[in-house]
């Protein structure tokens, strides 16, 4: 039987991270913990940067400001008196000198996770994915060739993340800097997700909006639209130097398997003064055959009364619509600036430029084909397996090709990292999946046993999939599991046995730190500064690009 809030111990949660998953979890905790005979609740949020909001601030494309409106909801959460924000605090593993993250965060207080345990009943890991998946091919190592970037680094750059601008970070990893002052005309984006389209769109819009190649009216309107976003001025200055006139998006599989949404694709097709070069007819024919197979599968499921009927039928409709958008093409039919999509190519190696051996000059591609099945294998028709069976696995055919390019951006996914690079007895790590092992959000150890009081949400729990809306659903589910465990255990499902937790206490390292621990009020001062600077420039905000400057504003 559930106890009442007067007898059930208060719940005090430390949330590591301050992105969408963290804030949605905090909101759910503050709203639901006291319901139905629940407990009093206190939420402390830890963030290694002085700025909150994570992916919303540093991941959402700047020309999609409507998506960032959730920041207002997060601010409402922070106004709750039961909530406290601790920015500029880098939570590390048990061995604080062995961080698995590449960014050093030298101005932050370094706080081992073990120091949190005595002060909280629960720990919620929500720090997301801060690293990029790598190509792992010759020429792709960081700094090996100039003008080679991960999509994460490029997104960090145009969104003003300190990792791409702060001298303290760039001194350690100078290859993260983006430079358009060179004579670059073609960019290759490897990958076919929404982030790949974001990157391509910013590259193309920079060409059509920040230069005067096109008609005056078009250029003025487009330039104003981009300059009014929160893209930092140093980034706009670099983009204005861009001579990129063609962006190619290259994928290992076919048009029917792309991961981007129809909405994102339609936005690409509507770019002013940018022409889309359509894929080969054979690729589109194969894609249509695969969609027909999916429709037939959905119909067969309906006829047999099977499950997932609506999902299969919906997927077929979405894919069919996507193919029609590709075939219709761009609104602009002729232009000096263009983009294209190519398929069934896997990067084999990045090649140096013949004129500038330290810079990338081309890519060697492996030609790919769908894996045939024993029943449909036909060596003369390498596409037949995928077309007739719906299989989406590809293999290299043995054929290769080479194409020149001036810039490579690898958009092959994000990945999370454990809090430290050494073995961690407190929190296990699934190396293969790149997540914290969990069961419905509750952290489990290497043997599958639940770790009392420890939970994980968002991309750190399920991998880098889904959008902000799905992150909210996941966060709500994890919090409900946490509260259910708390109520049904009469407050014993907690980090440390029977010891009572001081609701006002924080780790000793924070009280003694010589480095500034940023409060929510401190962040509001940074926020006001950015908004004021942005207003002066006629834009949404002008982001502060270095941690040192952020701290100087509040000091």
Q: Characterize the bridge pairing of strands 442-444 and 450-456.
A: antiparallel
Q: Which residue has the tokens 């430390």?
A: 14
Residue 20 CA: distances (Å) to CA of 72, 86, 116, 510: 12, 16, 22, 25
Residue 91, marked binder: yes
What is the rounded distance in angstroms from the CA atom of residue 314 to the CA atom of residue 321?
Answer: 11
For residue 252, the number of C-alpha atoms closer than 13 Å in the C-beta half-sphere is: 19
If residue 320 lies in a helix (H) or strand (E), which one and from where to where? helix 309-328
Our measurement of the distance from residue 23's CA atom to the centroid of its chain's CA atoms, rounded to an integer in Å, reads 16
The response to whether 459 counts as a known ligand-binding position is: yes
| 252 among annotated binding-site residues | yes
In the structure encoding, which two tokens stand for residue 5, read together? 């809030």
Find where tokens 């204005």 sit: 240
Contact (CB, 8 A) for 246 and 186 = yes
Residue 345 CA to residue 369 CA, distance in Å, equals: 9
412 is in an annotated binding site: no
Does 253 belong to an annotated binding site? yes
With b meaning 16 or more CB within 10 Å and e meaning fewer, what string describes 153-181?
Answer: bbbbbbbbbbbbbbebbbeebebbebebe
- By 3-state DSSP, what share of the chain in percent is helix, strand and coil, each rounded to 5? 40, 20, 45
Query: What is the number of other CB atoms lying within 10 angstroms of the CB of residue 410?
Result: 26
Decide if 102 contacts 314 (C-beta within 8 A).
no
**Per the annotation, does 248 bind a ligand?**
no
- Residue whose C-alpha is closest to residue 148's, from 182, 115, 197, 97: 182
Beta strands in 126-209 (DSSP E): 131-132, 148-150, 186-190
CB 254 within 8 A of CB 288: no
Q: Which residues does 375 contact at the CB level (< 8 Å), separation at least 6?
A: none
Ligand-binding site membership of 282 (annotated): no
H or E element in which residue 156 lies: helix 151-158
Residue among 195, 441, 540, 531 at smallest CA distance from 203: 195
Q: Let me know: does 337 contact 204? Beta carbons within 8 Å.
A: yes
Q: Is 467 annotated as a binding residue?
A: yes
CA separation for the pair 411, 394 (Å, rounded): 18
Say if residue 228 carries a ligand binding annotation: no
Q: How far is residue 239's CA from residue 62's CA, in Å, rounded to a whole number?
A: 14
Beta bridge partners of 430: 435
Binding residues for FAD: 21, 47, 55, 91, 459, 466-468
Binding residues: 21, 47, 55, 91, 252-253, 264, 459, 466-468
Binding residues for NADP(+): 252-253, 264, 466
């Amino acid at each position: 039987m559930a106890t009442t809030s007067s007898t059930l111990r208060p719940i005090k949660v430390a949330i590591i991270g301050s992105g969408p998953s963290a804030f949605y979890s905090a909101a759910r905790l503050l709203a639901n913990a006291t319901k139905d005979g629940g407990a009093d609740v206190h939420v402390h949020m830890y963030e290694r940067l002085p700025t909150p909001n994570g992916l919303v601030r540093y991941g959402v494309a700047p020309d999609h400001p409507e998506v960032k409106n959730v920041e207002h909801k997060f601010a409402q959460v922070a106004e709750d008196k039961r909530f406290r924000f601790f920015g500029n605090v880098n939570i590390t593993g048990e061995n604080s000198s062995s961080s698995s993250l590449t960014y050093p965060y030298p101005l932050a207080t370094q706080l081992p996770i073990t120091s949190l345990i005595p002060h909280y009943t629960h720990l919620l890991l929500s720090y997301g994915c801060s690293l990029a998946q790598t190509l792992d091919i010759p020429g792709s190592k960081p700094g090996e060739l100039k003008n080679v970037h991960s999509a994460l680094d490029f997104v960090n750059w145009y969104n003003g993340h300190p990792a791409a601008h702060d001298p303290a970070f760039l001194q350690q990893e100078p290859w993260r800097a983006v430079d358009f002052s060179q004579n670059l005309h073609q960019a290759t984006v490897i990958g076919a997700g929404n982030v790949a389209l974001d990157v391509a769109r910013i590259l193309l819009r920079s060409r059509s909006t920040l230069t005067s190649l096109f008609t005056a009216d078009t250029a003025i309107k487009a330039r104003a639209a981009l300059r009014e976003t929160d893209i930092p001025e140093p980034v706009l200055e670099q983009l204005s130097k861009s001579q990129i006139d063609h962006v190619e998006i290259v994928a290992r599989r076919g048009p029917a398997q792309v991961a981007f949404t129809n909405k994102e694709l339609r936005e690409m097709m509507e770019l002013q003064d940018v022409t889309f070069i359509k894929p080969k007819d054979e690729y589109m024919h194969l894609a249509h055959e695969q969609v027909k197979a999916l429709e037939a599968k959905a119909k067969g499921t309906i006829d047999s009364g099977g499950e997932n009927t609506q999902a299969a039928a919906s997927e077929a409709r979405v894919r069919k619509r996507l193919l029609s958008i590709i075939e219709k093409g761009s609104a602009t039919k002729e232009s000096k600036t263009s983009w294209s999509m190519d398929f069934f190519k896997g990067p084999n190696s990045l090649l140096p430029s013949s004129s500038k051996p330290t810079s990338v000059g081309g890519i060697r591609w492996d030609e790919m084909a769908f894996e045939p099945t024993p029943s449909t294998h036909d060596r003369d028709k390498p596409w037949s397996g995928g077309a007739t069976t719906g299989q989406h696995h590809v293999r290299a055919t043995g054929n290769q090709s080479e194409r020149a390019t001036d810039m490579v951006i690898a958009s092959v996914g994000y990945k999370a990292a454990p809090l430290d690079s050494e073995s961690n007895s407190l929190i296990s790590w699934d190396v293969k999946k790149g997540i914290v092992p969990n069961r419905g959000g509750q952290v489990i150890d290497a043997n599958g046993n639940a770790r009392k009081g420890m939970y994980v949400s968002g991309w750190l729990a399920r991998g880098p999939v889904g959008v902000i809306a799905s992150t909210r659903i996941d966060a709500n589910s994890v919090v409900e599991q946490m509260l259910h465990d708390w109520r049904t255990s009469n407050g014993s499902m907690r980090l440390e046995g029977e010891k009572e937790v001081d609701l006002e206490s924080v780790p000793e390292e924070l009280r003694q730190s010589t480095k500034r621990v940023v409060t929510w009020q401190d962040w509001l001062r940074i926020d006001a500064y950015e908004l004021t600077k942005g207003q002066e420039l006629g834009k949404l905000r002008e982001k502060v690009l270095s941690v040192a400057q952020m701290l100087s504003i509040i000091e």
